[in-house]
Amino acid sequence: MCPQSDIAKLDLDSLWHPLTQHRGLETRLPREIVSGEGVFLTDIQNQRLLDGVSGLWCVNVGYGREELADVAHEQMKKLSYLPATLVHAPSAMLAGKLIDMLGYPGKVYFTSSGSEANEVAFKIARQYHLQTGSPGRYKIIARYRGYHGNTLGALSATGQAERKIGYGPLAAGFLHVAAPDLYRNDGDAAAELEETIEREGAETVAAFIMEPIIAGGGVLMPPDDYLKRVREICDRHGVLLILDEVVTALGRVGAAFAHELYGAEPDILTLGKGLASGYQPLAATVSKQHIFEAFEGEPDELNHLRHVNTYGGHPVATAVGLRNIEIMEREELFDRSTKTGDALLARLRGLEDHPNVGDVRGRGLLLGVELVENKKEKTPLDASRVASIVAHCARNHVIIGKTTSATPGYSNVLILAPPLVLSEDESDQLATAIEQAIAKELPNPS
Ligand SMILES: Cc1ncc(COP(=O)(O)O)c(C=O)c1O
């Protein structure tokens, strides 16, 4: 091991960081983080930082759970690896648990990232149609401002232009419609979906993919009936509904799955992040039984799903995932997310009197604060002024997020997604940091 003082140099010399401009990074490189406990990270100078975004919105049960380390340790000693073509208990047990929680029959395919979970969903949707007599259905409709991952298929589904510049041509067959946004409230997004399906020709459309609440794109809240209407539209036109719950599931918005809150079920569901709370890289694609059954056939045909990955269903990852869900249930973290989130939302709504705070919104512990130049026009606040709020919080040892490299002109939403174990005091600390940052960085002339 290197002495800690050498880590920053090694990092700068050798690592390529995501979403980071490296020029001048030596003056901006964050201090090395050495440990985590609950909602706090500790850096090399022993400074504690409140992590208001759970890493990348994934450490739902909080940092430093020895119980999860023990499960990983035991599993590594017993059976460190097995491909998903073979049978082992942790992956069967986690799959069974997820199907039980969902309450309908289906099958789980494990991957190690949310992006790949969505790739699998697209492949399943297309092959399903091929094998049920609709080979012309290949198009995937997604939404502007939605995020579905970084691999070329998932990026093609992503509706955030700034993430795609320079990486084209992307995968063919992906198109986009508007997502609803209760704050900007511009048009009937469900009706637009149906018109698009009709204009494209329903017989060419395989699936519609959406996040129940757009997360990284700006915590965009849908009307309560939107998902139900989408479900009906998909059913009417034979289009499969893929719900990307990589962020919203496993307690993030106060339920096991966000779609429970909106009263409609997907044909295919994708999970990630909170599934193992970031203790292991784990994601999943869950297909309803009727989808799965379309893949039945003779062993020498090609009807089976022909996707494989070395680490899908990894015994250590799935063992940790299972215990992670048991912790969530034992500690009633889904309810806690709702209660803590409601209180934090109510407090932050106090900011809405400020001329630059256009909207404060969210569900459970996924919250957004939309900053504007002008409340009447809802003109987004300039990205550098939004960044100054995030930086102010960081100087006060509180990490918050914001929309970044997403939709041109809309890097204006502060995002909070703290671990679900956030206490009242910690929630106060988070809210205070944001209130102070807004008061200091965006002085209110009135
Ligand atoms: C809604 C959503 N889907 C998919 C992904 C991709 O997951 P991963 O980064 O694990 O590939 C993300 C990641 O942020 C996400 O927010």
Q: For residue 97, what is the domain's CATH number? A: 3.40.640.10
pLDDT tens-digit profile of 179-202? 999 999 879 999 999 999 999 999
C-alpha 30 chain-centroid distance: 24
Closest ligand 1 atom to residue 211 Cα is: 1
pTM of the model as a whole: 0.97
Average per-residue pLDDT for the chain? 96
Q: What percent of the chain has pLDDT over 70?
A: 99
pLDDT of 4 > 60? The answer is no
Number of Cα atoms under 13 Å in the Cβ half of residue 445: 4
| Residue 49 sits in the same domain as residue 81 | no
Q: Is residue 362 part of a domain?
A: yes
| Residue 338 sits in the same domain as residue 311 | no
| From 122, 247, 270, 275, mutation site for ligand 1 pocket: most ligand atoms within 8 A of C-beta | 247
Q: What per-residue confidence (pLDDT) applies to 444?
A: 82
Q: Is residue 8 part of a domain?
A: no
Q: Is residue 17 part of a domain?
A: no
For residue 258 and ligand 1, the question of a CB distance below 6 A is answered with no
pLDDT tens-digit profile of 228-285? 999 999 999 999 999 999 999 999 999 999 999 999 999 999 999 999 999 999 999 9
Average pLDDT over residues 30-51: 97
Strands 48-51 and 40-43: antiparallel
**Burial (CB count <10 Å: 0-12, 13-18, 19+), residue 348:** buried
pLDDT confidence of 5, banded at 50, 70, 90?
low
Distance CA 140, CA 121 (A): 11
Q: Which of 330, 347, 365 is the last residue of a domain?
A: 330
Number of Cα atoms under 13 Å in the Cβ half of residue 192: 15
Average pLDDT over residues 364-378: 97
| Residue 159 sits in the same domain as residue 307 | yes
Bridge partners for 228 per DSSP: none
pLDDT of 445 > 80? The answer is no
Domain count, the chain: 2
Please, are residues 233 and 207 in contact by the beta-carbon 8 Å criterion?
no
Q: What per-residue confidence (pLDDT) applies to 195?
A: 98
Q: Is residue 24 part of a domain?
A: no
| Residue 339 sits in the same domain as residue 398 | yes
Q: What per-residue confidence (pLDDT) applies to 215?
A: 97
Closest ligand 1 atom to residue 115 Cα is: 11
| Residue 142 sits in the same domain as residue 252 | yes
pLDDT of 432 > 90? The answer is yes
Closest ligand 1 atom to residue 281 Cα is: 10
Distance 120 CA to ligand 1 centre (A): 13
| Residue 314 sits in the same domain as residue 269 | yes
| Residue 323 sits in the same domain as residue 353 | no
Q: What per-residue confidence (pLDDT) applies to 347?
A: 98
Q: Is residue 323 part of a domain?
A: yes
Average pLDDT over residues 413-430: 98
For residue 113 and ligand 1, the question of a CB distance below 6 A is answered with yes
Residue of the nearest CA to atom 7 in ligand 1? 114
Q: Which of 288, 311, 330 is the last residue of a domain?
A: 330
Q: What per-residue confidence (pLDDT) applies to 374?
A: 93
For residue 114 and ligand 1, the question of a CB distance below 6 A is answered with yes
pLDDT confidence of 303, banded at 50, 70, 90?
very high
Q: Which of 298, 330, 362 is the last residue of a domain?
A: 330
Q: Is residue 19 part of a domain?
A: no
| Residue 45 sits in the same domain as residue 119 | no
pLDDT of 355 > 60? The answer is yes
Distance 46 CA to ligand 1 centre (A): 31
Domain that holds residue 354: 31-61+332-441
240 phi-psi bin (left φ>0, alpha ψ -120 to 50, beta other): beta
pLDDT of 386 > 80? The answer is yes
Q: Is residue 14 part of a domain?
A: no
Number of Cα atoms under 13 Å in the Cβ half of residue 126: 15
Q: What per-residue confidence (pLDDT) applies to 263?
A: 97
For residue 247 and ligand 1, the question of a CB distance below 6 A is answered with yes
7: Cβ contacts below 8 Å, ≥ 6 apart: 32, 44
Q: What per-residue confidence (pLDDT) applies to 3?
A: 52
Q: What per-residue confidence (pLDDT) applies to 300?
A: 82
| Residue 229 sits in the same domain as residue 373 | no
